[in-house]
Amino acid sequence: MTAPTRRRLGVGTALLAATALLAACGSGTPGQTADEDAEAGDREVVEFWHHTFTTPENEWYEQAVEDFNASQDEVFVNETVVPGDAWDEKMTAAQAAGTAPDVYPVPGRLNDGVRLGSYLALDDLLPAEAFEQVTDAAAEISQVDGTWYGYPLLLEPQRVLYWNKEIFTEAGLDPESPPTSWDELYEACEQIQPVLADGQFCIETFSDQDTLAWSTVAEQMHVAGHLPISEDWTTADATDPAYEELIEHYTTLYSEGYIPRQSLAAGNSAAPFGEEKVAMITQGSWGMSELVADYPEVVDHTGVAPTITSDGDQTESLTTVGNFKWVLDANSDNAEAAAAFIAYALAGDTDVLLPFFVDTQFTKAPAREDVAEAVNADPGAAEAPWSEVITEDVVPYTIGEPLYPWDVNVAMGLAIQQSMMGDVAPADALAEADATIEQIIEREDLPANRAELGD
Amino acid sequence: MARRRPADDHVVAANKKRYPDTVMAYVMIAPIVILLGIFVIYPALQATVLSFYNWSFYQESEFVGLKNFTDVLTDPKFRASILLGLKFVAITLPVQLVGAFLFASLATAVNRRFADVLKVSIYIPTIISGVITSVIFTIIYDYSGGILNALLAKLDLTTQAWLGDPRLALVAIAAPAVWLGMGLTCLIMIAGMLDIPASFYESADVEGANWWQKTVYITIPQLKNILLYLIITGFVASIQQFELPLIMTNGGPMSSTELPNLFIFNHFRGDPYVGYSIAAALLLFVVLGSVSALIFRVLNSEKLVD
C-alpha cells in the first residue's frame, strides 16, 4: 500500500470513528439528548412544547416540568422551548411529519383545530372534578360544543394603557388622569410633544399589519357594534362607515407624528415604554410583567389604565381577552401520560400555579376560582396596584377573541394600515377588505363551518 | 451457434473506442441521480399529487381537483406577490450585475496584490449568513436608534421609516440582497474576464480603442455565456428571496415586501390545509421556468469561437 493511500485510509477511519462517537453521544429519541434519555429511563415519555414567554413565565414552565418529573417515576416530560416566531412553521412541519408534541399551549380559539381533528377531548382523560373550578370565561375558550379540548392556564386582556407619570407632569398634565377618549389623547399628545426629545414619541400603539389585525378587534366592535363579517359568516360586513372613523383615528396618530412611523419593537413588547422612548403605550396586560422584570426603574412612575376608546366609554368592548390553554395532540401515543402532566401542572394543587401568577406580577387572570383566591390572598398582590385595574376595570368589559379565521383579521389590519401609511381612502381600503373577506368566505366555506359550531 | 463475424468485432471495438467510459460515467452520476430522485423528483411528484387534495394531518385528505390551483390563480394577493418578485428582480439584478462588472473590471486592471485585496473584500458578504445580514440591516434601519437615521439627523435631513414605509421597504431589503449577491457574481465575472485572450485587447490598443470601446466590443461579447448564467441564476435567486423579508419586515408594511416565497410560506404556516401553498409553489415553479426559458431564448446561448 502506498503512503498516500494509507493516509487516505487513516483519515477515512478517523472520520468514521468520529461519526460513531458522535452517534453514541446522541439520543435514540428524536428531540432528546442522551442525558434526557438516561433520565427518562423506562418511563413513558411525553413531548411538551411551549413558546418562549417572558422570563418569569419561562422559569415557571421549566420548574413545573422538573417538579412533575421528580414527583413520580412513570412519566417523563421532555420540554422543548420554541421561539414565538418559529412556532407556526415548526408545528406545521412536525404535524406533517407525524412528530407533533403530545402536549402544547394554544392561544386564541379552538374551533378550527377541533374541526380539523387536531386535539383529543379531555373529558375522559381528566377526572370530572378537574373542571369544577374553571371560571366561566375560561371554560368558554376551552370547550367546543360542550366538550373540553383544552385545559386553561390564564386569561389576559390584550390592550391596556400604560403611561409615564413623569412625562405627564413635565408636560403640565395631571399625572393621575390618563386620556380616555381619542379627543383627549390628541390633546394630551399636543401637550406632550414639546417636551419630548428626538427619538421619543407620544404613544406607541400597534401599527404593523399583523398586530393591528388582532389588536383592533375590540375597537372594531366598539365603534361599529359588530365585527366585519355577518354572524352566520355568509357575507362580509367591513364597509360600515364607523370603521372609516377607526381608520381615520390611526391615520391621525400617524400623520401627526404621535406614533412612530415604524414599530419600535415587536408587537407584543412593552420595551419602547421601558426604554422611555414613548410617553404612553397600548399593550397587553403582560406588558407590566415585562416592565417589572426588565425595566424596574420605570415601574414607580408607570400608570396602568383601561385602554383609550373612541368615545371614552370604558365599559363596553374594551379589549379582546387573550388566553393560553394546553391541548393534547390527536395523534399522541401517550394520551393518558400526557393528561397526567396536565392534571399535575394546571388542574392540580394551587401551589403549583401560584408562582406563575405571582411572578408575572399579578398581570394575568387565573382560569380557576381556587387559584384566583390563592393569588388574591398572596401578600404581593397589595404591592401591585395594577392588579386591581386589570381585574376590576378591564376584565369585566372584555370580549372574546373572534371565532372566524385569522385571515379576516388580517384583511382589516391591512385596511387600517393602507390608509394610515398609504394614500388609500378609508372607504376604498374597507371595500378591498370586504372583497377579501368575501373571498375567504368562498374559499373556506365559512357558512358551513359556522353552522357546525352551533350557537 | 451463430458464428461471430469479423464485422461484429469491428463494431464492438468501434463502440469501445467511441464510448470508452460509458459504464464509469453512469457509476459517477448514479449518486447524484439517486439523491435527486429521493430529495427532488419524488417530493415534486408527491407535491403534485397533494396539490389536488385538501391535505389534513389528522383527517382523511379530501380530493378537491383543481380547486387549490383556481384559488391561487384567482387570488389577487398571489398575483401581487409575483409582480412584487419581478419588481424586486428589476431593482436588484441590474445593480448587482453592473456593480459586479465594474468591480471585476477594476480587479483585473490593477496589480495582483491589490486585486487579491479587492477580491477578498467583495467576497466576504457571500459567506455571511442571510439571517445575520438581516439582523445587521434591521439594526442599521432601526427607526429611533439606527445608524442610518442617526446620519440623516446629523445632516439635518428627515429621518425615514426604512422598514415601516411601504414606499421604502422593498428598496431597503434590496440593499442587503445586492450586498450579499455581489461577491459571487463579481468573482465569476473576474474568472470570465481573465479567460479572454490578451491578444484581443493588444489588437484593440494598436487600433487606438478606448476602455469603453474595448468593453463594448470585446469584454461584453466574450462574457455573453457567463452573463447569461448570471442573469438566470440572479433572477431565480432574487425572485425567490425569502430570509430578508421574513426577518426584516415579515412581508409588511402593507404586504409591500411579501415576495412569492414568503407569501407561500405564510400560507403554509397559517392555513388549515396545506394544498393551497403547495399549488402556489408549483405555479411559482412554472413562472420561474417560463421566465428562465424566455431569457435563454432572447439571449441565445452559443459556444464561443476564438
Q: What is the pLDDT of residue B244?
A: 94
More confident residue, B294 or A10: B294
Q: What pLDDT band is residue A8 in, cutting at 50, 70 and 90?
A: low
Any idea what the Cα angle at residue A107 is, between residues A380 and A443, rounded to 5°? 160
Q: Which residues of B touch A331 (CB under 8 A)?
A: 57-58
Q: What is the pLDDT of residue A55?
A: 83
Q: What is the pLDDT of residue A263?
A: 84
Q: What is the pLDDT of residue B305?
A: 47
Q: Identify the structural domains of chain B with CATH numbers, from first to last.
A: 76-299 (1.10.3720.10)
Cell of B55: 391535505
Helices (H) and strands (E) in chain B, counts: 16, 2
- Measured in degrees and rounded to the nearest 5, phi and psi for residue A67 equal -65, -40
**Facing residue for B254 by CB, picked from A92, A95, A421:** A421
Any idea what the Cα angle at residue A293 is, between residues A178 and A377, rounded to 5°? 80
Closest CA to B182 of B230, B144, B146: B230
Cell of A355: 408562582
Reduce the DSSP state of residue A198 to 3 states and report it. coil
Determine the Cα–Cα distance for residues B91 and B245; give it in Å rounded to an integer.
Answer: 15
Q: What pLDDT band is residue A295 in, cutting at 50, 70 and 90?
A: very high
Nearest-by-CA chain A residue for B160: A261
Cell of A31: 428531540
Cell of B289: 421556468
Q: What pLDDT band is residue A23 in, cutting at 50, 70 and 90?
A: very low
- Let me know: does A227 contact A436? Beta carbons within 8 Å: no
Determine the Cα–Cα distance for residues B261 and B259; give it in Å rounded to an integer.
Answer: 6
CB contact under 8 A, A407 and B270: yes
**Facing residue for A443 by CB, picked from B59, B71, B265:** B71
Determine the Cα–Cα distance for residues A420 and A207; give it in Å rounded to an integer.
Answer: 9
- Let me know: does B173 contact B248? Beta carbons within 8 Å: yes
Whether the pLDDT of residue A221 is over 90: the answer is yes
**Facing residue for A262 by CB, picked from B59, B164, B254:** B164
Mean pLDDT is highest, among A1-5, A287-291, B169-173, for B169-173
- Measured in degrees and rounded to the nearest 5, phi and psi for residue B304 equal -75, 145
Distance (Å) of CA A376 to CA A14, A257, A370, A383, A454: 63, 41, 10, 11, 36
* Residue A208 contacts B where some CB pair is shorter than 8 Å: yes
Whether the pLDDT of residue B197 is over 80: the answer is yes
DSSP A302-366: EEEEEPPBSSS-TTSS-EEEEEEEEEEBTT-S-HHHHHHHHHHHTSS-HHHHHHHHHHTTT-SEE
Q: What is the pLDDT of residue B15?
A: 62
Nearest-by-CA chain B residue for A278: B144
Residue A308 burial (C-beta neighbours within 10 Å; 0-12, 13-18, 19+) = buried
* Residue A121 contacts B where some CB pair is shorter than 8 Å: no
Closest CA to A418 of A428, A406, A403, A409: A428
**Facing residue for B269 by CB, picked from A89, A117, A421:** A89
Mean pLDDT across A17-25: 46
Percent with pLDDT over 70 in chain A: 91
**Facing residue for A116 by CB, picked from B59, B161, B268:** B59
More confident residue, B110 or A100: A100
* Residue A2 contacts B where some CB pair is shorter than 8 Å: no
Whether the pLDDT of residue B176 is over 50: the answer is yes
Distance (Å) of CA A40 to CA A20, A32, A37, A341, A399: 23, 10, 5, 15, 43
CB contact under 8 A, B164 and A443: no
Determine the Cα–Cα distance for residues A305 and A203; give it in Å rounded to an integer.
Answer: 14
| Arithmetic mean of pLDDT over chain A | 88
Q: What pLDDT band is residue B301 in, cutting at 50, 70 and 90?
A: low
Any idea what the Cα angle at residue A365 is, between residues A364 and A367, rounded to 5°? 130
Q: What pLDDT band is residue A303 in, cutting at 50, 70 and 90?
A: very high
A3-17, A91-105, A151-165, B23-37: which has the minimum mean pLDDT? A3-17
- Measured in degrees and rounded to the nearest 5, phi and psi for residue A105 equal -80, 145
Q: What pLDDT band is residue B13 in, cutting at 50, 70 and 90?
A: low
Closest CA to A287 of A133, A411, A275, A93: A275
Reduce the DSSP state of residue A105 to 3 states and report it. strand
Instruction: Give this prediction's pTM.
Output: 0.79
Q: What is the pLDDT of residue B1?
A: 44
CB contact under 8 A, A92 and B274: yes
Closest CA to B193 of B107, B290, B282: B107
Determine the Cα–Cα distance for residues B164 and A194; give it in Å rounded to an integer.
Answer: 24
Q: What is the pLDDT of residue A21?
A: 44
Q: Which residues of B touch A99 (CB under 8 A)?
A: none
Mean pLDDT across A329-343: 94
- Let me know: does A277 contact A200? Beta carbons within 8 Å: yes
Whether the pLDDT of residue B45 is over 90: the answer is yes
pLDDT digits (tens, 9 = 90+) for B56-70: 888 888 899 999 999
Mean pLDDT is highest, among A260-269, A316-325, B19-28, for A316-325
Determine the Cα–Cα distance for residues B186 and B181; give it in Å rounded to an integer.
Answer: 9
Q: Which residues of B touch A88 (CB under 8 A)?
A: 269-270
Largest alpha-carbon pair distance within chain A?
A: 91
pLDDT digits (tens, 9 = 90+) for A169-212: 999 999 999 999 999 999 999 999 999 988 899 999 867 778 88
Closest CA to A227 of A448, A424, A446, A394: A446
* Residue A210 contacts B where some CB pair is shorter than 8 Å: yes
Whether the pLDDT of residue B143 is over 90: the answer is no
- Let me know: does A374 contact A354? Beta carbons within 8 Å: yes
* Residue A432 contacts B where some CB pair is shorter than 8 Å: no
Q: Which residues of A touch B254 (CB under 8 A)?
A: 209, 414, 417-418, 421-422
CB contact under 8 A, A444 and B272: yes
Determine the Cα–Cα distance for residues B184 and B302; give it in Å rounded to an integer.
Answer: 23
Q: Which residues of B touch A115 (CB under 8 A)?
A: 272
Distance (Å) of CA B121 to CA A128, B126, B183, B236: 68, 10, 8, 25
Q: Which residues of B touch A271 (CB under 8 A)?
A: none
Determine the Cα–Cα distance for residues A55 and A368; give it in Å rounded to an integer.
Answer: 23
Mean pLDDT across B101-106: 92
More confident residue, B147 or B16: B147
Whether the pLDDT of residue A330 is over 70: the answer is yes
Residues 30-69 of A with CB under 8 A from B: none
Nearest-by-CA chain B residue for A260: B143
- Let me know: does B236 contact B181? Beta carbons within 8 Å: no
Q: Which amino acid is at B26?
A: Y
CB contact under 8 A, A116 and B56: yes
Q: Identify the structural domains of chain A with CATH numbers, from first to last.
A: 39-157+322-383 (3.40.190.10), 160-320+402-453 (3.40.190.10)
Whether the pLDDT of residue A1 is over 50: the answer is no
Whether ipTM tops 0.90, in short, is no
CB contact under 8 A, B144 and A444: no
Q: What pLDDT band is residue A2 in, cutting at 50, 70 and 90?
A: very low
CB contact under 8 A, A96 and B274: yes
Determine the Cα–Cα distance for residues A206 and A250; give it in Å rounded to an integer.
Answer: 10
Determine the Cα–Cα distance for residues B275 and B262; give it in Å rounded to an integer.
Answer: 16
pLDDT digits (tens, 9 = 90+) for A136-181: 889 988 999 899 999 999 988 999 999 999 999 999 999 999 999 9
Q: Which residues of A touch B143 (CB under 8 A)?
A: 260-264
Chain A nearest CA to B163, separation (Å): 7
Q: What pLDDT band is residue A16 in, cutting at 50, 70 and 90?
A: very low
Q: Which residues of B touch A263 (CB under 8 A)?
A: 143, 164
